[in-house]
Structure 1
Amino acid sequence: MKYILIYISVIFVFTSCTSDKNYEIKVPDFNSRDSLDWAGVYAGVLPCEDCEGIQTKLTLTQDNTFGLEQTYSGKNSEPVKHYGSFKWNTDGTKIQLLRLEKRGGIIYFIVGEGQLIQLTSNAERYPEDIERKYLLKKL
């Protein structure tokens, strides 16, 4: 009788530890588009090859449109204004400003907490020592 109870207990332990059900835990993906308060006005001074710097103000709206105002410091020029739309990359971390034909192409930014970092024309980051010069802070 004692052996039967031990045998039943062992069988119970082994059968209760296995399950045919596959449980999958879905962890939500983190991305700037869905997780950060990114809409708003960003400003900073971007590098310029033939001037003292480009005073830049970029406004991003929830409907994926933007307003970009740039003033070339050290030159007698009026602010240059561009308006258009932007789109997010597939993982929701970068934006691409569209409709900037007069400026010479598309501008890319990484969207961070309270800041934008401008990327190269190939949507890649600048080297770390240079990247801080391409930072726009949220106002």
Structure 2
Amino acid sequence: MNKSILIPLVSLSSLTVTGLVGCERASETTVKQTEAVQVKHIVPAWVGSYSGHTPCMSCSALCEDCEGMAVKLTLNADMTYTLDRQSMSGNDQPALLHGAMKFHNPEKTKLELVNVESRNLLYVNLANKQLEILKNDTAQPYDAQDNFLLERA
């Protein structure tokens, strides 16, 4: 009697390839999920560039004799700034400053530009998209506060 015996032939290489493909797809999914999480970084509302025309460094209001200063301030999400001040009348030296900044309250409305000697305190008004330069000694607005506003660019 001749009985046939069936021997299943399974290639180990096909199982290995199938297993690797499954791992590769799982790895791709994990990478895509990680990238999606990184893309959802939220930029704070105060980040951006602000500019305006302010009185000269020695003045507390715009005068007829003084052409004032052109000011551009960029606030970065990493808590750094770039401040560019240019005298329109030539009375003050131009200044390009870079440095760190810090907030003085949890609402993040009172800001200080570190290592800036004067006019380094600001009030952040997100509703109006403005920064208001405050007096250094009191952190209060100038009497002519409309002359000390920087508008969001």
TM-score of the superposed pair, with normalisation by structure 1: 0.64
Question: Offset at 1:76?
Answer: 7.7
1:115 matched to 2:130? The reply is yes
1:43 matched to 2:55? The reply is no
Gaps of 5+ in 1: 1-35
- Deviation string 1:107-133 (CA, Å, 9 cap, x unpaired) is 111101211000011211223xx1111
Gaps of 5+ in 2: 1-43, 60-64
- CA spacing shift, 1:51–1:93, aligned 2, 3 Å: same
More strand by share: 1
- What amino acid is the match of 1:47? P
Question: Offset at 1:80?
Answer: 1.4
Runs (4 or more) in structure 1 with deviation over 4 Å come to none
- CA spacing shift, 1:77–1:88, aligned 2, 3 Å: closer
| Cα RMSD for the two superposed structures | 2.4
- CA spacing shift, 1:40–1:90, aligned 2, 3 Å: same
SS at match of 1:124: coil
Q: Which residue of 2 aligns with 1:132?
A: 146
SS at match of 1:99: coil
* CA distance, structure 2, for counterparts of residue 115 and residue 61 of structure 1: 15
Q: Which residue of 2 aligns with 1:28?
A: none
Larger radius of gyration: 2
